[in-house]
Every structure is written in structure tokens, then in C-alpha cells.
């Protein structure tokens, strides 16, 4: 338990805590009165960002997978050829803005870009999709090219939907990881983080419940004559979700402004001026390559995104077969999201804060890869060997093999996402805290801005190559499963190695004990 001792030393040296809380308060509400304004502001911002993230995650998959002449095979092509270049451009933009403006202005500019796009998509691009999509030309290309290129042609055929997918994906990396967690890590100490982050992620899980319920309601809503467009419930749901995302983004910026004016800024007025850290993409990745600590964090992020992406494409391909209608598909996604949010909320409330406070970083960080690996193995096992292992469930519950595959994939997705929103995100962000400000800024910009996208795009490259080789997602599943096992092993080894380095970094940051 040397790591726990060192972290507690960090807490004492970095952040002088008020008197100890009662056991009940320590378990359910470990927040001191003088920390309420900071905590509640960060909690509220995370809630609205998480709501947008979850509702966009549901809609981006549905709008692409169920689009005309499209399917789950389009996702690997989008992530590799559209999302990855866009993530690099956004990271370049972020580093340029960070070199010239303070963090508050950077936050407003980046958020405004997203608000502007979703306004444009909701009120211009989606209503005019029949005029904007090159359907005839895409059909001609499909007749000339092999069937393995169907996914690549789909991202061109439905290019407005591709843009929506890109911006929804960038929300998770740019707003979630870089902007929010980068800001939080700068104003929160290790001691506060061990008490704050469990509850903050609990707020994000509650937001996921609202997002899942909203996806179900929006996708099955009745027709309203007063809406500006929409002949079906699905079309009208696009209008509702666009308005919801825009509204939550504006509220987020208002709370962020209040936090900087009334909570953060007054404490920084008397602080000595700090030297501005200049960043560039080349410098960030060069800095990353020289740090074993940051490289381990990068490997963990890469492995997580690779593993999740490898499984999700297979699961969504099965789900498209079961639910070809976009409204039905999105309703099911909303149900999965709602279930996942309940599990994550219970885990965050009952276990995450307590486990993070009382066990080592390594133990907490290993929970995610172990659970993802076990559930992933079960999912791939049944798809590859449908007549072995779980076939008795099909007969016992009068469930078709396809329905069972989708259900197992949904369970795996719920558990994986629950791990991410509880232990994975919290332990990853805590790992940044003992580092210097330069390491946080440069390392986080490289890892969360581009590294996570490379992980997802790496999984997409694997799927894309196999689809071109086998023509379908289903034909490549055994090879995907083998690659998944290798990635899971790398993830576990990286966590163990980083845990030893975190121990040393925490002790060094704390200084010699008294």
C-alpha cells in the first residue's frame, strides 16, 4: 500500500483539508463546505457536457448505420478517413488558440464552433439532405467498385450525416477530454480529485440516463404540425435533439463563465504571473515520446479505444440486421444507454469514490481492462461458436441467435461504458495530476486530442482492411477477436507499469514526509 501512503502525503502537502468528515459523509458526500461552489460548478458543467455526449453518441451511430445504402461497415471508413484528420485539425486549432488566448476564451471559441455546426445541421443540412446528397453519382461509383468499398461510398453518399458523425465524435475528445478535464486537472489537487471525481462522474452517469430517456422519447414522439420540418417521428427527433444539444451547450458556457468570475479567478489574482507555455503539435508529440510516464498513459488510452472500437463495430452490424428502421434502432440505443447510465450511476455512487479513496491507483485502473476483456471474450465466443456455451439461452427464453448476439453485445457495451465513466476516466485523469503544468498541457493535448482518435482510427483501420478482404463485417469476426485479445493484454501491462511510475511521481510531488 505504498502508493496509498504516498498519495495521502500528496493530499496533505498539496491541499490542506478541513477537519475529517464523518464516515457517512466520507462515503456519500466527501465535499467540504468551502469547496461547494467549485464542486457544484464542475458537476453542473460535466452534467450538461455528458448529456450532449451521450445523446450525440446514440444519434451519430443511428444516422449513419441506417442511412440509405449504408451500414455498420461505414463506421471504420468514417473514423479513419474523416474523424482522424478532423481531430488533428481540431488539436492544431486548440494548440494555436492556447498559445494566444487564455483558457476561458479558448473554451468559448471551441464551444461556439460546435454550437454553430449543430445549429446549421438542424436547420439547414438535415432538412435539405435530398438536395445535398449525391445519390446518383454514389450509385454509379458503387456499380464500378467492389462490394468492400460500400462503406467508403456511403460516407460520400450521405456526406451531411458524415459531418454530424465527425462533430459528435469530436465532442468526446475536444470538449470532454481536452477542454473539461484539462481545466479540471489544472484547478484540482490530488486530494480534491480523489473526493471530487467519483461524484462528478456520477453526475455524468445521471446525464446519461436523461440522454437515454430523451433518445427513446424523441425517436417515438408524436407528429407536431408546428415544427419547421419532419414527415416522420425520426425526422422530428433530429430537430428536438439539435435544439437540446444547442441549449445545453449555451448553459454550459454560462456556468463556466460564472465559475471563472466568482470561484477561480479571484484566487488567481494574487498569484505570481506564470510563464506562458508555448505548444505546437510537433512539440507535444516530441515531449510525449521523451516521457515513459506519458507514453504509458497514451498506451492505455489507445488500447481502450482500440478494444471498444473493435467490439462495437461487430455489435452494431448485428444490431442493424435486427433493427433496420432508424427510429427502432435509435430507440434500442436509447434503452442501452439508459441501462448503462443506471449501472454506471450505481457503480459511481456505491463503489467508485470509495474504491478510489481506499485502494491503490493500479487496483482501480485494472478494473476496466479486466472487465472489458472478460465480457469481450464472451461476446466473441458466442458469435464465433453459436452452438456452444450459451446456446441453451436461445431455447430457454425463446430467443433467436441474432437477438442473443445483440443482447450480449449490449451487455458488453453497458459494462465497458460503465467502466469508462467510473474507473477509467477517473484514474486516467488522476494520473495527470502529479505532473508539471507543461507535462499536463502538452501531454494531454497530444493524448486526448489525437491519441484517443488514433486508437479509434486504429480499430477502424483493422475493420476496414478486413472488410476489403472479406467484404463483410461478419466474415472478419474471428480475426477481430484475435486482435482484441492482443490489445487487451497490452492494456493490462501498461496499467501495471504506469502504476509503479505513478507511485514515484506522487512521492516526488509530495516531497519528503515530516
User: What are the pLDDT digits (tens) for 221-271?
Assistant: 666 777 777 777 788 889 999 999 999 999 999 999 999 888 875 444 334
The angle formed by the CA atoms of residues 83, 309 and 159, to the nearest 5 degrees, is 35
**Spatial distance between the Cα atoms of 125 and 158, rounded to a whole number of angstroms:** 11
What length does the chain have?
A: 514
Can you say how many angstroms the Cα of residue 344 is from the centroid of all Cα atoms in its chain? Answer: 14
For the chain, domains (ranges, CATH) are: 2-12+36-268+278-510 (1.20.1250.20)
| Confidence label for 359 from pLDDT (cuts 50, 70 and 90) | confident
pLDDT at 6 over 70: no
- Please report, rounded to a whole number, the percentage of residues in the chain having pLDDT higher than 70: 79
**Spatial distance between the Cα atoms of 357 and 39, rounded to a whole number of angstroms:** 17
pLDDT at 459 over 50: yes
Tell me what pLDDT residue 327 has: 79
Question: 465 or 512, which is more confident?
Answer: 465
Tell me what pLDDT residue 22 has: 59
pLDDT at 476 over 80: yes
Tell me the three-class secondary structure of 77-94, residue by residue. HHHHHHHHHHHHHHHHHH
pLDDT at 513 over 60: no
> What is the number of other CB atoms lying within 10 angstroms of the CB of residue 155?
24
Asked if 474 contacts 320 with a C-beta cutoff of 8 angstroms, the reply is no
Tell me what pLDDT residue 11 has: 38
Question: 474 or 208, which is more confident?
Answer: 208
* 147 exposure class (CB count in 10 Å sphere: 0-12, 13-18, 19+): exposed
Query: Going by C-beta distance under 8 Å and a sequence separation of 6 or more, which residues neighbour residue 237?
Result: 218, 219, 221, 327, 330
Tell me what pLDDT residue 178 has: 77
pLDDT at 183 over 80: yes
Q: Is 274 helix (H, G, I), strand (E, B) or coil?
A: coil
- Tell me phi and psi for residue 20, to 5 degrees: -60, 150
**Spatial distance between the Cα atoms of 385 and 156, rounded to a whole number of angstroms:** 36
Asked if 345 contacts 209 with a C-beta cutoff of 8 angstroms, the reply is yes
pLDDT mean across residues, the chain: 79
pLDDT at 160 over 90: yes
DSSP 364-378: HHHHHHHHHHHHHHH
**Spatial distance between the Cα atoms of 38 and 146, rounded to a whole number of angstroms:** 56
Asked if 499 contacts 362 with a C-beta cutoff of 8 angstroms, the reply is yes
Tell me what pLDDT residue 398 has: 62
Buried b (16+ CB within 10 A) or exposed e, 156-195: ebbbbbbbbbbbbbbbbbbbbbbbbbbbbbebbbbbbbbb
Asked if 72 contacts 473 with a C-beta cutoff of 8 angstroms, the reply is yes
Tell me what pLDDT residue 511 has: 58
Amino acid at each position: 500500500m505504498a502508493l496509498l501512503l504516498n498519495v495521502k502525503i500528496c493530499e496533505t502537502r498539496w491541499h490542506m483539508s478541513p477537519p475529517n468528515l464523518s464516515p457517512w459523509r466520507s462515503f456519500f458526500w466527501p465535499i467540504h463546505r468551502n469547496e461547494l461552489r467549485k464542486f457544484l460548478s464542475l458537476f453542473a458543467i460535466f452534467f450538461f457536457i455528458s448529456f450532449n455526449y451521450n445523446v450525440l453518441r446514440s444519434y451519430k451511430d443511428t444516422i449513419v448505420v441506417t442511412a440509405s445504402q449504408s451500414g455498420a461497415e461505414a463506421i471504420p471508413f468514417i473514423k479513419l478517413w474523416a474523424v482522424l484528420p478532423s481531430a488533428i485539425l481540431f488539436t492544431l486549432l486548440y494548440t494555436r488558440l492556447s498559445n494566444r488566448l487564455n483558457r476561458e476564451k479558448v473554451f468559448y471559441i471551441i464551444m461556439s464552433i460546435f454550437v454553430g455546426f449543430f445549429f446549421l445541421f438542424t436547420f439547414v443540412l438535415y432538412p435539405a439532405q435530398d438536395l445535398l446528397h449525391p445519390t446518383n453519382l454514389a450509385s454509379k461509383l458503387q456499380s464500378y467498385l467492389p462490394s468492400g468499398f460500400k462503406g467508403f461510398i456511403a460516407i460520400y453518399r450521405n456526406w451531411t450525416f458524415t459531418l454530424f458523425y465527425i462533430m459528435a465524435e469530436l465532442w468526446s475528445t475536444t470538449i470532454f477530454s481536452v477542454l473539461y478535464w484539462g481545466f479540471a486537472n489544472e484547478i484540482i489537487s490530488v486530494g480534491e480529485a480523489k473526493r471530487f471525481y467519483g461524484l462528478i462522474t456520477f453526475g455524468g452517469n445521471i446525464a446519461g440516463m436523461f440522454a437515454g430517456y430523451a433518445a427513446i422519447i424523441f425517436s417515438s414522439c408524436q407528429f407536431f404540425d408546428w415544427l419547421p420540418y419532419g414527415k416522420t417521428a425520426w425526422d422530428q427527433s433530429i430537430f428536438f435533439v439539435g435544439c437540446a444539444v444547442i441549449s445545453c451547450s449555451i448553459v454550459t458556457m454560462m456556468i463556466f463563465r460564472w465559475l471563472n468570475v466568482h470561484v477561480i479567478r479571484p484566487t488567481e489574482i494574487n498569484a505570481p504571473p506564470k510563464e506562458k507555455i508555448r505548444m505546437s503539435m510537433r512539440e507535444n508529440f516530441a515531449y510525449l515520446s521523451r516521457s515513459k510516464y506519458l507514453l504509458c498513459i497514451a498506451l492505455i488510452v489507445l488500447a481502450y479505444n482500440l478494444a471498444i472500437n473493435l467490439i462495437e463495430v461487430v455489435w452494431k452490424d448485428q444490431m442493424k440486421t435486427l433493427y433496420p428502421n432508424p427510429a427502432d434502432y435509435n430507440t434500442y440505443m436509447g434503452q442501452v444507454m439508459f441501462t448503462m447510465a443506471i449501472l454506471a450511476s450505481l457503480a459511481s455512487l456505491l463503489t467508485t469514490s470509495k474504491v478510489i479513496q481506499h485502494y491503490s491507483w493500479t487496483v482501480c485502473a485494472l478494473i476496466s481492462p479486466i472487465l472489458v476483456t472478460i465480457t469481450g471474450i464472451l461476446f466473441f465466443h458466442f458469435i464465433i461458436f453459436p452452438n456452444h456455451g450459451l446456446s441453451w439461452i436461445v431455447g430457454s427464453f425463446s430467443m433467436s441467435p441474432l437477438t442473443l448476439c445483440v443482447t450480449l453485445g449490449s451487455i458488453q457495451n453497458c459494462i465497458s461504458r460503465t467502466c469508462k465513466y467510473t474507473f477509467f476516466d477517473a484514474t486516467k485523469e488522476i494520473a495527470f495530476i502529479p505532473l508539471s503544468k507543461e507535462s499536463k498541457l502538452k501531454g494531454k493535448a497530444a493524448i486526448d486530442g489525437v491519441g484517443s482518435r488514433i486508437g479509434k482510427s486504429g480499430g477502424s483501420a483493422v475493420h476496414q482492411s478486413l472488410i476489403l478482404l472479406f467484404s463483410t463485417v461478419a466474415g472478419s469476426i474471428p480475426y477481430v477477436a484475435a486482435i482484441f485479445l492482443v490489445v487487451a493484454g497490452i492494456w493490462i501491462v501498461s496499467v501495471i507499469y504506469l502504476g509503479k511510475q505513478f507511485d514515484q511521481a506522487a512521492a516526488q510531488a509530495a516531497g519528503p514526509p515530516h
